[in-house]
Structure 1
Amino acid sequence: MNLLDRTIDFIAALRRAGVPVSSAETVDAATAIGAMGWADRDGVRAAFAATLVKRPLYRPAFDTLFDLYFPPRIGDGVSLDPRAAASSGDGAGDGEPTEKMPPPEELSPEELEGLRRALRDQLLGALRDGDDEALRSLARDAVTSFGGGTGGSSGRSWYLYRALRAMSAETLVADLLSALMGDTARGGLAERVARQTISDRIRTFEEMVAAEVRRRMAEERGLEAVERSAVGPLDDQVEFLRASQRDLVELRRQVYPLARRLATQLTARRSLGRTGRLDFRRTVRASLATGGVPVDTRYRPRKPHKPELVVLCDVSGSVASFAHFTLMLTHALREQFSKVRAFAFIDTTDEVTRFLRGLDLGDMMARISAEADLVWYDGHSDYGHAIDAFAERYGEAVGPRTSLLILGDARNNYRPTSAHVFRRLCGQARHAYWLNPEPRSYWGSGDSATDVYADLVDEMVECRNIAQLEQFIERILPS
């Protein structure tokens, strides 16, 4: 396969991973590579990234697929990088030919242990010095020596955890801390900076090992087979209800950039639509200067509408992560509304607006769970009683200027729905929307009461990830 075919396959893989790449951007990428050539792999990566990656959240998927489709070397030592081939006889990249490592199955347990210790000593030095080239070489050696296993019909298999366990980079923290800090007193800012530096370097090495394992697997099984498992959903496509702890951390990082982008788009829409309704009297007066021809039309000043927002969200265990991010985004967008009030419920309702104030929202849901009055009977979702409690205690919060936003999966444990009370609340509001984090195909199944509530709101919207949440908030923002 030539490089042009490989580039086409690479772009197709980006599209399968959810990275939008247009035909025009493909032409731009080919033009950029044609101008600079293939000699510099890092330059090729940068050129592809500049022409194909439009948002930061696409970069992890791009880097993973680039390393799969344009690896720096083949097998254990054949380099695809001309710079490495020119400087090293075997592609090791250190300028000196090195002895090829014997296959691990030919080594005795004592020899393997000696090799492991030798590699760990080298790893300690590379982490201390921050030497990326040495770390890459060690990642290759670790995978070759400790990451392999007996496979099935496909031959050899490769395992990330085996290589990482053998190197145990996290156990080197104490030695690295001593090396980096020297005689400096422990504690304070200096130690925090050193620990962060060590953590970043260890993470970089672990990512290099993971990339090497993926490369070996791609050679054994084929690119497309590895691609499906190596590239997960984009961060804005991760489902709230299935997010891992790592996904949750990344989703938190997206909330405020998302809010800023939406606020910027709203400001632009307002500036482009400042003209209000036609002012007939002023237009006729102005036309007297042009013989009665209304050349200069006059408009009444437009008053942007900033409605009130009331958020009513289910914070029970099944949808807590969804409520967390929606409340954070609501807090970040509060300046776009004249008033924002937030209410949470499990089987009864309490106002939680006070927890949205301030800048540090990292423990927002923990404080809501600990301090808000959300449990009335057994702590299981009860939408009917929660709606009754909201209407009785906070019914005045919903008025003709209010956009009512309900967040939850509508799974009511087969309890009464209080549909008549909810209908009255929706009738009081200017708009009523319901965001449901479950797939639409699940609505109405089991104990879901979506078939009851969906008929009472203006719209029930599937909102399973950040991308769908962004689309909805942009649509309902006042313009």
Structure 2
Amino acid sequence: MTIPPATALAPEHGLPGHLVDFVSALRRHHVAVGPGETVDAARVLGALDLLHRDQLREGLAAALLRRSGQRGTFDALFDLWFPPALGAGSSDVDVPRIDDESGEGTGPVDVDALREILADLLRDGDEETLRELARAAVDAIGTSGAAGQGVRGQTAKPNWSAYQALGALSPDTLLARILDGLREEGDTDFVSEVRRREIRDRIARFRDVVREEVRRRTAEQRGREQIARTTTPTQTDQVDFLTANATQLADLRRTVQPLARRLASRLSARRRRSNRGRLDLRRTLRRSMSTGGVPMDPAHKVRRPGRPELVLLCDVSGSVAGFSHFTLLLVQALREQFSKVRVFAFIERTDEVTHLFEPGAELSGVMQRVLREATLTAFDGHSDYGSAFGDFLEHHGDALTPKTSLLVLGDGRTNYRDPNLRALAMMAGRVRHAHWLNPEPERSWGSGDSAATRYGEVLPMHECRTAAQLTDVVQALLPV
């Protein structure tokens, strides 16, 4: 397989300009790359053989990435700026075609024969040839519109389609045939299951390669920047809680522990900087008498560090549950920063669920346990903030003390019911600090049945749509 040199991709600017364009694309997708990292990447380009694409990928990743969760974005952009081929590329795989009237194999693609080739490659695990087959298949059968007469008589360009290519090949339907060919007498159930999973993984990788090839060919037609805007995966900490799918939420949950460690280290640094306390003006002036009134030896007030109690009041209804779950996991990982943590969940009614988040508790499926074991509904199961606040004050008001920090998690959508601002004001008046974390964008506050703007007049409300925003807010609210 021939890999195009990087200089062929940007002849106007050469390799340095091409690298700068790549770095700019990373920055547009929230990957922080500074001048130092860019210089390091330039040295990598000068030290590596550009024809060894895998080495180039790893070298640039080592030079440019500084945080976890950025690799998916980097790989997607790398494939656009340093593609494995240009145009149809070259391949050692010949696409079989049906004989035409003259007896020559120049007719339509023989899909059945192509599927046989695919089955053999999947069985043998030849990754390189599978990639070449994917490229050849996309070029042969991966167009959703044939080239014809376009605007003003120009030849229309085909629309590349991974759906059409994969639909014709149907690689998933080859699994049983491949396993039958690999089955040997005396195979145990364990061996059969391992072999099944291996073939499934190869099929999944082939599907990914087809999609990558379609993405590359489309980028050549429409421009890298346009395709990058629409197809580059969002970094984990930039995923919107309210629109995240199950896979993204699972990725978010995996980032909780690293995020908590990072926040704890930042808190330690803040404490080191402030461990001397505030300036004690009176003692400083007294000391200055021995130096003729010059304050040569400043005195500081003795700090009395204390870890406050934390109370979390969480809406666990609908899509807000994903945001509440992630925040609860983050706080659970940071619980050593507080003397006591109590967790209350609500929908229409409020119930304490602290025991589900105690140290050592099993946190997988914890939200399902909250919904199953806690008493949260009374009528129709829709969020009722006013009723939940009143219920909290009536049954759990003793949880709020002058040492308590209160965090309310929710979108503030009351389903047009009484928001009960008076109850929220009473709660905020009993505690040391009170804040509201809202997963909706600020522009949506107050729209429809949202009482967020009215609640924001009672206590500070913070937009926390993503893990990055939540990190900044939690870092600012953590005790010093």
Name the TM-score class by shorter chain: 0.7 to 0.9
Equivalent in the alignment of 2:110: 111
Amino acid across the alignment from 1:306: R
Amino acid aligned to 2:256: V
**Segment drifting more, 174-183 vs 401-410:** 174-183
- Which residue of the partner structure matches residue 389 of structure 1? 391
**3-state SS of paired residue (1:376):** coil
Amino acid corresponding to residue 249 of structure 1 in structure 2? A
Question: Percent same amino acid at aligned positions?
Answer: 47
Counterparts in 2 of 1:199 and 1:98: CA distance versus 1, 3 Å = closer
Supply the distance in 2 between the matched residues of 1:185 and 1:205 (Cα, whole angstroms).
Answer: 27
Q: Which residue of 2 aligns with 1:8?
A: 20
Determine the C-alpha separation between the residues in 1 that align with 2:98 and 2:258.
49
1:171-202 CA-partner distances (Å, limit 9, x unpaired): 45556667499845214xx6776565445444
CA 1:204 to 1:260, structure 2 compared with 1: closer, same or farther past 3 Å?
farther
Alignment match, 1:356? 357
Deviation at 1:134, TM superposition (A): 2.6
> Which residue number in structure 1 is paired with residue 6 of structure 2?
none
Contact 2:349-2:388 at 8 Å conserved across structures? yes
Give the Cα–Cα distance (whole angstroms) in 2 for the partners of residues 182 and 239 of structure 1.
51
- More divergent stretch after superposition (291-300 vs 50-59): 291-300
- Match in the other structure for 2:31: 19
- Structure 1 residues 84-103: aligned runs within 5 Å: 91-92=90-91, 99=94
Look up the match of 2:403.
401
Please report how far the alpha carbon of residue 283 of structure 1 lies from its aligned counterpart in structure 2 after TM superposition.
9.2
Q: Which has the higher mean CA deviation after the structures are superposed, 231-240 or 291-300?
A: 291-300
Report the Cα offset of residue 430 of structure 1. 0.6
Q: CA deviation at 1:47?
A: 2.5
Give CA-to-partner distance per residue, 1:246-272, whole Å, 9 cap, x none: 222211211222112112222233234
Aligned partners of 1:192 and 1:295: how far apart in 2? 76
Q: Is the Cα–Cα contact under 8 Å of residues 104 and 146 in structure 1 kept in the other structure? A: no
Tell whether 2:134 aligns with 1:122. no
Match of 1:53 in 2: 65
The 1-side partners of 2:74 and 2:184 are apart by 36
In structure 2, the CA distance between the partners of 1:151 and 1:23, relative to structure 1 (3 Å rule), is farther
**Counterpart for residue 86 of structure 1:** none
Residues 66, 318 of structure 1: alpha-carbon distance in 2 compared, 3 angstrom cutoff: closer
Instruction: Output the amino acid matched with 1:208.
Output: V
Q: 1:312 and 2:307 equivalent? A: no
- Structure with more helix by fraction: 1
Higher mean C-alpha displacement, 244-253 vs 430-439? 244-253
Equivalence for 2:7:
none
CA pair 280-104 structure 1, distance change in 2 beyond 3 A: farther
Aligned pair in 2 of structure 1 residues 277, 443: CA closer, same or farther (>3 Å)? closer
Is the CA contact 1:385–1:418 (under 8 Å) kept in the aligned structure 2? yes
> Bigger shift: 160-169 or 414-423?
160-169
Query: Residue type of the partner of 2:425?
Result: R
Contact 1:384 1:415 in 2 (8 A): yes
Structure 2 spans left out of the alignment, 5+ residues: 1-9, 151-155
- Asked whether the equivalents of residues 124 and 172 of structure 1 are also in contact (C-alpha less than 8 Å), the reply is no
RMSD of the alignment, in Å?
Answer: 3.3
Give yes or no for the alignment of 1:138 onto 2:133.
Answer: yes
Number of residues of Structure 1 aligned to a counterpart in Structure 2: 455
Q: Aligned to 2:188, which of 161, 185, 188?
A: 185
What do residues 413-466 of structure 1 show as CA deviations (whole Å, max 9, x unaligned)? 111122112111101111110011111111111111122211111x10011111
State the TM-score, normalized to the length of structure 1: 0.85
TM-score, with normalisation over the residues of structure 2?
A: 0.85
In the TM superposition, residue 117 of structure 1 has moved relative to its aligned partner by 2.0
SS of structure 2 residue aligned to 1:328: helix
Spell out, residue by residue over 1:139-187, the C-alpha distance to the aligned partner (whole angstroms, 9 max, x if none). Answer: 2233233322215745111112233334444445556667499845214
Gaps of 5+ in 1: 78-90
SS state at 1:148 partner: coil
Within 1, Cα distance between the matches of 2:356 and 2:99?
57
1:413-432 correspondence runs (5 A): 413-432=415-434
Structure 2 residue 83 is matched with structure 1 residue 71: yes
Give the direction of change, closer, same or farther, for the CA distance of 1:13–1:312 in structure 2 (3 Å limit).
Answer: same
- 1:276-323 Cα deviation digits (max 9, x unpaired): 357899999999999999877776764432111101111111412111
Mapped contact 1:310–1:405 kept (Cα < 8 A): yes
